[in-house]
Structure 1
Amino acid sequence: MKHRPLRTSLVVVTTAALLGSGTAVALASPGATVEATAKATTSPAATVDQPVERLIVGYKSRAAEAKSDSAATEDAKAKGKKTGEDLDFARRLGTGAALVDLGGELGKQDAVDVIAAFRADPDVAFVVPDKRMYATAVTPNDTEYNRQWDLFEATAGMNVPGAWDKATGSGVKVAVIDTGYVPHSDLAANVIAGYDFISDPFMANDGGGRDSNASDPGDWMLQGECGNNYPEFDTTSSWHGTHVAGTIAATSGNSKGIAGIAYHATVQPVRVLGKCGGTTADIMDAITWASGGYVPGVPANPNAADVINLSLGGSGACDSGTQNAINGAVNRGTTVVVAAGNSNTNAANFNPANCSNVITVAASDREGNRASYSNYGTVIDITAPGGETAVSSAHGIWSTLNSGTRGPVSENYEAYQGTSMAAPHIAGLAALMYQTNPSITPAQVESTIKTKARPLPGYCSGGCGAGLADAAATLGGSTQPPTGSVFTNSTNVNIPDNATVSSSIAVTGISGNAPAALKVGVDIKHTYRGDLKIELIAPNGAAAVLKNTSTGDSADNVFTTYTVDASGVVASGTWRLRVTDAYTGDTGYIDSWSLTF
C-alpha cells in the first residue's frame, strides 16, 4: 500500500517543479537508465578583453604623480612617447588615482603595451583599464514569478530576463488605454495619474462622464442591457486594464506577486472601456491626449506617453478618425501597440488592428503555436505570448487583478488569455527600448522588434508576422539558441493505474544524428505525478529516463522541457514517450509532447 503525504499548498508545489529549468539527460543503451543531472557553468576572469579608451593609474604615496596633476600629466605623456600613443592626464579620481586618456580607443594589444609601460614604473601601485560596466539583473524574487512562463521559458517565452541587463524601463511612460485601473499593491508604485475619457455616464458606470479619475469601477453587465441581446448572459467585471498594466510594469524585487516586463516604467491608465465597451470618439481622444496632443476641454497631459497599449478592437476597416489619431501620436514620437483580436480569423477585418503605423500583435500559446483564438494575416507584425487558459490556467498569462465580481473587493492575480495579453508584452518590450535609446522612433521600434524575432517554435497558419518576439535579442543581449524543427503529438493518451503507455512521433526530413541538446517538451495531466516514470525511447531503442517515480512528489501534472544528449542516435525515425504509472489511486493522460531538433 502506498503512503502519500497530504497535498498542501498545491499551487506552490506544482509551479516550483513545473517551471524549473530544463534538465539534461543522456540517451543510454536499451534498458539502461540515466538519471537527470544539472550543469553549472563558470566564466573565466577577464583581462584586457575589449578596446580601451582610458586607464586608471594608482601611484604610490611617495611619488610626485600621486600629489601633483602636472607631474601625472608629464608621466602620461612620457609613457605615450615610449609606446607610440597619445596619452594625457584626464582628471584625479576621488581615491587619488589618475585617470589617463589614451587619445582614442586602443585595441587589445596596444592597450596591453601601454599597461605594461605603467606597470614597469616602480612609482606605480596599480594600473587597470577603465572598463564599461552594465546593470546586472538577477532572477526576480517575486513570489508568483515562477508562473510567468511567458517571460522566461525556453520553448515559447519571450526571453525577457536576458534583456534586463540592458534596461528595466526606467524613465519610460506607457499609457494603457483600457478599462482604467483598480488599486493593486504590486503595481501602485508605477502608476501615475491618468484620465477617464468615457463620455457616456451609463457606460462610465461611475456616476459621471469624463473626469480626471481613471479608476475602474467595474465593467459588469446584465443580460441584454447593451441592446441587441448583448450580452447574452450576465457578466462580471474584468479588471482588464489592470491585468494588462501588470504585464507591462508590475513592481519587481518586492518579494511578492509578479514582475512586469518593464518593471521600472510608469503606467498611465487612460479609461475608454466601461459597461458595454467604448466608443471610437472616446478612443480617438484618448490616443491624442495620451501622446501629448490637445483635446478640447481636457487638461494637457503632463506625462506624454512613449508607448501606448491598445488591447481593444472591433470589426470593420480602420476608420479615418482613428487613423488620424494614431498618425498624430506616432508623429509625436509615441509607439502604438495594438492587439490583433480573438476571433481566429483575418485581422485585416478588425479595427484598430488593421490601421497603419501600429504594431499589431498576434498571440501564441505555451508551446509556441499561434493561439487557437488569435487573429492572423498579413497585417500581423509580431507574435507574443497570449496564453491558452482553455488548456489549463497554468498556460495563461498571470497578472494583477481584483476578486470583485462587480465593484472592487480585494486584489489578487489571475491567468487570462488573449491578444489583449500579447500586446502588453510588446508594449513592455518597447518601453525597454526607449530606455536604452530615448530618441528612438516608432518606426525603429517596430523594425527592430521584427528583425530580432525568432521563428515561432510551433505552428502558425494564416500568418503570424515576423515570428515570436525576443526581448534579449531586440536589446542586443544574450539570445536563446535558434529553434530548429519542431515535431509535436497532441493526441491524448490515457494513463490508467499500474499501466505503461506510449505516444509516438515520426521524425522525417532531419539528416544525420539528433543533437546533443534535443529538447523534449512534456505536458502530462495527472493527479499525482509522483506515480509516474517518464522515458524517451529513440528510434534505435535507446532509452533516457526523463523522470522517475517519487512518493514524496504529490503535486499534479508534469509540464516541463527536458534536454537529452541524443548525439549518437539517427534523428529520423519513430520516437516514443513512454509513461509508466507505478501505483494505484490516481490516473491521468498524456496531453501533448514535442521534440525540437
Structure 2
Amino acid sequence: MTTTALLCAGAATSIAAPLPAPGTPGTPAAPAPAPAAQPVERLIVGYTSQAAEAKSDDAAAKDAEAKGRKAGESLDFDRRLGTGAALVDLGAELDKADSEDVMAAFRADPDVAYVVPDTRMYATAVTPNDSEYSRQWDLFEATAGMNVPGAWDKATGSGVKVAVIDTGYVAHSDLAANMIAGYDFISDSFMANDGGGRDSNAADPGDWVARGECGTDANGQPVPARDQNNSWHGTHVAGTIAATTHNGKGVAGIAYNATVQPVRVLGKCGGTTADIIDAITWSSGGSVQGVPANPNPADVINMSLGGGGACDAGTQNAINGAVSRGTTVVVAAGNSNANAANFNPASCSNVIAVAASDREGNRASYSNYGTVVDITAPGGETALSSANGIWSTLNTGTRSVGSETYTAYQGTSMAAPHIAGLAALMNQASPSMTPAQIESAIKTNARTLPGTCSGGCGAGLADAARTLGASGGTDPQPPTGSVFTNAANVSIPDTNTPVTSSLAVTGISGNAPADLKIAVDIKHTYRGDLRIELVAPNGASAQLKAASSSDSADNVITTYTVDASGVVANGTWKLRVTDVYSGDTGYIDSWGLTF
C-alpha cells in the first residue's frame, strides 16, 4: 500500500498583519462618488419609420446640419448603425450643457423617436471588494503574480466543474455558494477519522495526528516526529480556485464562478494509491464499483498531493482514463527541493505538473523541479512573513472543527490550484479545448520567471491574462481541423540511437495539408542534444529541429509547420528523436498532428 501526503510546506496561522497602505492594489476603498458626466462627441439618433431621415443618408445629413445651426454647433452625419439609427458627429467634445442643447433640438422634432449620447463603456471586471484581497499578491502583483484580474473580462469559470481530490471540505461561508456534493473515498476507517469508510459525505472532520501515530520510518523514528494539528488542506486549495468573489469578505477565487466538488482521499496519516485511483476515475465520470455515478463529472481535477517514487502504472492508467474523458489533471510537483521525476503523481504523463514560486519570482526553496515540471505558479514562502504566503479559506480547529478563518500557507499544494483555476477559466472561454490543448496554451503563454530557477521550472511563470488572450491576443482556441495526439511517454536514450513514437491517422480524405502542424512536448535537460524528425506514412521524413551544442535550455515545447501536401494523410506517422550527445536525458511527453 502506497501512502500519499498533502503538499503544503508549513503554514503561518496569523491573520493579524496590517493591511497595505491606501493605494496598494486591491485595498478596500471608500464608496466611489457618482461618475462625472463625460464629454459627448457623437449622438445616436433614431427616427420614426415614416421619416425620410430613417431611409435616406442624405436626408439624415441635412437634418444634422439643420439641427446644428439651430443649436449653434457644427454637426455631421457619420454613418448608419445596424438598427437604422443615425450616428451624428458633434464636431468636438461638448460638455453636458451644450450637448443637452443639441439633443433638445432633436427631441423637439416629431420625426425623431429618440436621441442618446454615444457613451463610452468599459470592461466590467472590477477589482474585487473582498476584504482579504489586498493580501493576494499571487493574483495581481506585477513582479510575480499570475496576472489573474486581466483574465476576468474573458472568463470567471462559469459552468465549469473542478474536482479537488484532497482532505475534503470543512464548511466555510466564503466557499459555500460554489460547493457541490462530492464523495469520501477513504476506505480505511482509521484514516477516515469520521467513524466509517467510504460514503457520500466529503466533509473534512480533521486530519490531526499525534507523534508516532502513523508508525515509524525506515530509521525507526516516529511518524510524525511531533504532534500535528488539522490542516484543512482541501478547503484552502478550494478557496484559491473558487472562493466567492465580490461579496465584501474574505478572499477572491481565480475561477470564482466555477463549482468545486470535494473528493476526499487524505485523512489521518495521508491516503492510499488505491483510493486516489478510484477518486480520479469517479471524479472524471468513470465508473467505480460500489460507488454511485458522479452526476457532475469534472472538467478539471486538482491533486495537491504526492508521495515518493516514480508514477505507478495504476495511477497512470487512472489519469489516462480521466484525460480521455476530457478532464484536465493538475498536480503539485512536491515540496522536497528535489527532482520531481522521483515523485508520484508529479512524474505521471498527461498531467500538468506545477512547481511553486515565491513573491519575488524565484523557485520557492522547498519546490521540486526538473524536466517533468510543466509550469510554475505562485506557491508562496511564509518563512519570513505570512504576507508572502498564499491566503485562502481555512478553519481554526486544531483537534475538531472550529470557526472559519483565512490563513497563509505555502507549498506546491498552493501553486497547483492556481493552474487548476486557470484551466477552469480556459474551459469556460473555449469549451472545446482538449486537456492537451489547455496545457499547451498555458505553457505557450507563460512568461519568464523574474527570479531564478535551478533545476527546471517548466515553461515559466503562468500568466492568466496572456493565456486568455486579454493582453492583445485572442481567446484560447483549439486548432482548426482534425487533431490527433499521442501521450507518448517514450524515453530518449542517451546513446545517439533514434527512438520513435507512432500516431495512427484515420478518417482524413486525400493528402496532408501544406501547413501540417506538429505540436511537440519533449522534456529534456539539454535540448540542444536533440534532433527531431517527422516521418510520414510513406517513409519520407522532414527534420523539425537540428542538434545544436549552443542550445543549453531545457525542453522542447513548441509547434512546427511542414509542407506535407504530397503525402496521403491516412496512415502511421512517427516522431523520431535522437539524442546525439551524452550526459543529459529526457523523454517524449506528448505530440500531435493537426490536419
Q: Secondary structure at the match of 1:362?
A: strand
Deviation at 1:225, TM superposition (A): 1.6
Is residue 180 of structure 1 aligned with residue 168 of structure 2? Answer: yes
Partner of 1:15: 19
Q: Secondary structure at the match of 2:423?
A: helix
Q: How many residues align?
A: 404
Matched ranges for 1:204-283 at <5 A: 204-228=192-216, 229-283=222-276
Partner of 2:395: 402
Deviation at 1:59, TM superposition (A): 2.3
User: 1:223-245: CA deviations, max 9, x gaps?
Assistant: 11211121111111100000000
8 Å CA contact 1:169, 1:265 repeated in 2: yes
Q: Secondary structure at the match of 1:383?
A: strand
User: 1:7-39: CA deviations, max 9, x gaps?
Assistant: xxx9778322298159xxxxxxxxxxxxxxxxx
User: 1:533-590: CA deviations, max 9, x gaps?
Assistant: xxxxxxxxxxxxxxxxxxxxxxxxxxxxxxxxxxxxxxxxxxxxxxxxxxxxxxxxxx
Output the CA distance in 2 between the equivalents of 1:347 and 1:425: 19
Matched ranges for 1:112-151 at <5 A: 136-151=124-139
8 Å CA contact 2:157, 2:257 repeated in 1: yes
User: 1:306-325: CA deviations, max 9, x gaps?
Assistant: 10000000011111110011
Change (3 A) 1:133 1:211: farther
> Which AA in structure 1 matches 2:83?
L
> Which AA in structure 1 matches 2:133?
Y
Output the CA distance in 1 between the equivalents of 2:116 and 2:337: 59
Change (3 A) 1:436 1:100: farther
Deviation at 1:170, TM superposition (A): 0.7
Output the CA distance in 2 between the equivalents of 1:212 and 1:153: 40
Output the CA distance in 2 between the equivalents of 1:411 and 1:225: 27
8 Å CA contact 1:134, 1:166 repeated in 2: no
Partner of 1:99: 83
8 Å CA contact 2:25, 2:140 repeated in 1: no
* Selected match of 1:462 from 434, 451, 455: 455
Partner of 2:371: 378
8 Å CA contact 2:25, 2:134 repeated in 1: no
8 Å CA contact 2:335, 2:411 repeated in 1: yes
> Which AA in structure 1 matches 2:178?
N
User: 1:495-525: CA deviations, max 9, x gaps?
Assistant: xxxxxxxxxxxxxxxxxxxxxxxxxxxxxxx
Output the CA distance in 1 between the equivalents of 2:45 and 2:178: 42
Deviation at 1:439, TM superposition (A): 1.2
Output the CA distance in 2 between the equivalents of 1:19 and 1:313: 40
Output the CA distance in 1 between the equivalents of 2:212 and 2:227: 8
> Which AA in structure 2 matches 1:142?
D
* Selected match of 2:297 from 296, 304, 323: 304
Q: Secondary structure at the match of 2:260?
A: strand
Partner of 2:8: none
Deviation at 1:58, TM superposition (A): 2.6
Deviation at 1:469, TM superposition (A): 0.5
Is residue 369 of structure 1 aligned with residue 349 of structure 2? Answer: no
Partner of 2:488: none
Output the CA distance in 2 between the equivalents of 1:12 and 1:139: 23
Deviation at 1:132, TM superposition (A): 13
Q: Secondary structure at the match of 2:354?
A: strand
8 Å CA contact 2:15, 2:406 repeated in 1: no
Change (3 A) 1:123 1:264: same
> Which AA in structure 2 matches 1:218?
G
Matched ranges for 1:417-436 at <5 A: 417-436=410-429
User: 1:445-466: CA deviations, max 9, x gaps?
Assistant: 1011111111001001000011
8 Å CA contact 2:138, 2:378 repeated in 1: yes
Please, which moves more after superposition, 13-22 or 350-359?
13-22
Deviation at 1:222, TM superposition (A): 1.3
Output the CA distance in 1 between the equivalents of 2:41 and 2:435: 39
TM-score (ref. length: structure 1)? 0.63
Change (3 A) 1:125 1:387: same
Structure 1 unaligned segments of length 5 or more: list them: 1-9, 23-41, 49-55, 67-71, 80-96, 102-118, 481-597
Partner of 2:191: 203
Output the CA distance in 1 between the equivalents of 2:121 and 2:159: 20
* Selected match of 1:330 from 323, 326, 334: 323
Matched ranges for 1:310-321 at <5 A: 310-321=303-314
Output the CA distance in 2 between the equivalents of 1:479 and 1:15: 33
Partner of 1:291: 284
> Which AA in structure 2 matches 1:375?
N
Output the CA distance in 1 between the equivalents of 2:459 and 2:333: 14
Output the CA distance in 1 between the equivalents of 2:115 and 2:156: 33
Output the CA distance in 1 between the equivalents of 2:22 and 2:447: 24
Partner of 2:150: 162
Matched ranges for 1:443-592 at <5 A: 443-478=436-471
8 Å CA contact 1:168, 1:264 repeated in 2: yes
Deviation at 1:346, TM superposition (A): 0.3
8 Å CA contact 2:40, 2:117 repeated in 1: no
8 Å CA contact 1:153, 1:159 repeated in 2: yes
Change (3 A) 1:225 1:448: same
> Which AA in structure 2 matches 1:301?
N
8 Å CA contact 2:46, 2:84 repeated in 1: no
Is residue 59 of structure 1 aligned with residue 52 of structure 2? Answer: no
Change (3 A) 1:13 1:280: closer
Deviation at 1:47, TM superposition (A): 8.9
User: 1:129-185: CA deviations, max 9, x gaps?
Assistant: 999988521011000000001000111100111111111111110000000000000
Deviation at 1:123, TM superposition (A): 6.8
Output the CA distance in 2 between the equivalents of 1:304 and 1:354: 24
User: 1:109-140: CA deviations, max 9, x gaps?
Assistant: xxxxxxxxxx9xx9787899999988521011
* Percent pairwise identity: 78
User: 1:451-496: CA deviations, max 9, x gaps?
Assistant: 111100100100001110000111011389xxxxxxxxxxxxxxxx
Deviation at 1:378, TM superposition (A): 0.5
Change (3 A) 1:135 1:292: farther
Output the CA distance in 2 between the equivalents of 1:221 and 1:256: 32
Output the CA distance in 2 between the equivalents of 1:125 and 1:219: 68
Output the CA distance in 2 between the equivalents of 1:467 and 1:393: 24
Is residue 153 of structure 1 aligned with residue 138 of structure 2? Answer: no
Change (3 A) 1:18 1:153: farther
TM-score (ref. length: structure 2)? 0.63
Partner of 1:485: none
8 Å CA contact 2:333, 2:412 repeated in 1: yes
8 Å CA contact 1:472, 1:479 repeated in 2: no
Change (3 A) 1:479 1:59: closer
Output the CA distance in 1 between the equivalents of 2:400 and 2:439: 38
Output the CA distance in 2 between the equivalents of 1:335 and 1:299: 22
Output the CA distance in 2 between the equivalents of 1:148 and 1:47: 40
Change (3 A) 1:394 1:47: same
